[in-house]
Chain A
Amino acid sequence: MERRDFVKKAALGVSAAIAGVHIVFADVMPKGYEPLLHQDPDPFKLFGKDKEMVVLNDKPWNIEAKAHLLDDKVTPNKYMFVRNNGLIPENIDVNSWTLTIDGESVKQKKIYTLSELKSKFKQYTYQLTLECGGNGRSEFDPPAKGNQWTVGAVSCAEWTGVRLRDVLEDAGIKDTAVYIGYHAADRHLSGDPDKEPISRGAPMRKALQDETLLAFKMNGEDIPLAHGYPLRLVAGGWPASVSGKWVNSISIRDKIHDGTKMTGTAYRVPCNPVAPGEKVKDEDMCIIESMPVKSLITYPKSGAIINKGKKLKIRGHAWAGELEVAKMEYSIDFGSTWMKCSVEKPANRLAWQHFSATVDFPKKGYYEVWARATDTRRGSQPMILPGWNPKGYLNNACHRIAVKVK
C-alpha cells in the first residue's frame, strides 16, 4: 500500500468514526470510489449553478433555467442550461489535450495541441445562441420520450476561440467533403469504453461559417467543465448537440456523419408532417438543421401582481436560428390583437436579440402576456404547439407569463 493510499484510508476511517458511522468493508472499497458521505452531491456547487435552476436528471446531468433567470443580455454560467448525454470526463490535462483532424476527406491528418490552436490561428469572440433541440419537449401530446425540458434549455453566452474553418483548411479539405463529425472525451453511461455518448456534426456549409468556433473560453474565462472544458465546438442557431463538448477530434467526412445520435430518430423530425402519435419510419426522419424562430419573456417573472393604472415594462430575448428576428410583438388578449415591441439588432450574427415594451392593461383582472417573434422570412411563432414529432423537438410555441391587475 502506498503511503498516500494509507493516509487516505486512515482519514476515511477517522472521518467515519467522527461522523459516528461505521463503513463496512472500508478497506476493500474500489479505488476511486468515494462513499456518499464524502461526495459533494450538490450540483449547484459542483457546477456553479444558481439554486433556482432545475435539475431534470442527475445521471447524466441535465439542468435547465427558468424564463426569468435568463434576463441577462449575455448568459452567465450560473444560469446556463446543462445537457449531457454521457458522463463528464475526469482528470483533464490541458497540457496533453490534443485535437485530431482526420476523416476520409482530410488532405493531411493533423494533430494540434491546445497551445498550437491558440497561437497558430486568429481568435474570434461572438455571442452565440445555443438551444437544445428538445427545449419545450414537455408540452407535446402524446408526450415525447427524453428529458422533459420546459423553456430553459437556451443560452446566449460570449464564446472565444478559433474558427473551425481555419483549422480544417490548415489540414486541407478534399473536394469530396460533405460533413464534419466530432468525437469527444465524455464517457458512455453504460461504462462501455467502445461506445460514444454522442458524436454529431454539421454539413460543410455550417462548419465553414465565420461564427462556427472551436472555443476555449466562455464569457472571457476558461469554459466551465460542465460546458466542455477545455475545448468545444460552438455552432450557434443549430440544435446545441451540434456544438460538441470536450472535443478531441473532428473527422471531415465524405458522407453525412454517422456517429451516435446522428442516425435513427435522434435530433431528427419527420420529413413530412405527421398526425400526433403517428409512427414514423427511421428513413422518413430528417436531420434538424437551423432552429426555428422563438422568444422568451425574461422580465417580469410570471405571476406579477400590479396596481390598476400602472404600466408594466416587459423585456426578453428573441432568436431565429440561422436567421434574424425582424419583428417582435406582444398580446394581452390571447392573440386577438398584437402590439409591437422594440427589438434590438443582434450583437453579431446568431446572437439573440433583446426586446422590450410597455404594457397598458385596460381594467382589473387576470391577464397573460404572450410574446411572438417573426423572422426575416416571415416565419413566426405559433400560439399552439407546432407539428408533433416522435422525439418532441422544435417546440417554438409562444411564451407567456401570467399577470394580475388589482
Chain B
Amino acid sequence: MEKEEQFRYQAKIIYRLMVIVFSMVGLVTVTGIYLITDPTLSVFKKTTPESLYILTEEDEERIENGIHLRTGLIEAEGLMEVVNNCTNCHSSKLVIQNRMNKERWIATIRWMQETQNLWDLGGNEDIIVSYLVTNYPPGKKGRREILTNIEWYDLQE
C-alpha cells in the first residue's frame, strides 16, 4: 500500500510538471506566431483597425487627387453608378479611352444591352450618361493634330 501511494504521489508530480511544460510551450508558440504576424504589437496600440484589413472595400474605393484609385475614373457625381454598372464585364480603361456625346453614349449602351448582356440601367442611365459626357467630353481634333508630348533626346550615333 505504501508503495502504491508513493507511486501515485510521483505520478501526480510528473503530471503537474507536464502540464506546466506544455502550457509554457503553448504560450511561447502562441506569442511567437502572434509576433510573426504582428511584430509591432499594433493591436495593443491605439490605432484604427483598418491597418489589419488592407483589402477591405473602403480601401479599394479610395479616392486620391480626384481619381477613384481602383478604376482610374474621375471622382464626380455618378462615379459609383458607372463603377457598378460599367466595369463588370469590361475594364474601366475602355470607358476612359472613349470620348462620345450623349447620343452616341446612349447608342453604345443600347448596343451593349442588345448584344452584350448589359442589364436595364433604369434611373441610373441618365446619371451614367451625364457623368460620361461631363467628365469625358469629346475634343476637336480636326483632320490632323500637331505632334504633342514629344520627348526630346540627343541622338547618339
Contacts and interface: CB of A to CB of B under 8 A. Distances in A.
B41 interface: no
A23 B151 CA distance: 44
B12 interface: no
A94 interface: no
A36 B59 CA distance: 13
A386 B94 CA distance: 24
A21 B50 CA distance: 10
Interface string B82-119: 00000001110110011111001000100000001100
Contacts of A302: 147, 150-151
Given A36-B55, A141-B142, A305-B152, A148 B97 contact: yes
Contacts of B44: none
B1 interface: no
A237 B157 CA distance: 34
Interface string B53-75: 11110000000000000000000
B46 interface: no
A20 B52 contact: yes
Interface stretch (A169-177, A187-195, A202-210): A187-195
B155 A145 contact: no
Interface string A248-270: 00000000000000000000000
B5 interface: no
Given A142-B138, A383-B144, A147 B97 contact: yes
A146 B147 CA distance: 22
Contacts of B153: 301, 303-305
A146 B38 CA distance: 47
A143 interface: yes
B97 A57 contact: yes
Given A17-B37, A57-B93, A22 B155 contact: no
Nearest to B51: A20
When A and B form their complex, which 8 residue pairs have the shortest distance between CB atoms, in order from nearest? A141-B141, A190-B117, A304-B155, A59-B91, A384-B143, A189-B89, A148-B97, A143-B99
Interface of A: 17-18, 20-24, 35-37, 55-60, 139-143, 145-148, 188-192, 195, 300-306, 310, 312-313, 368, 383-385, 397, 400, 402, 404
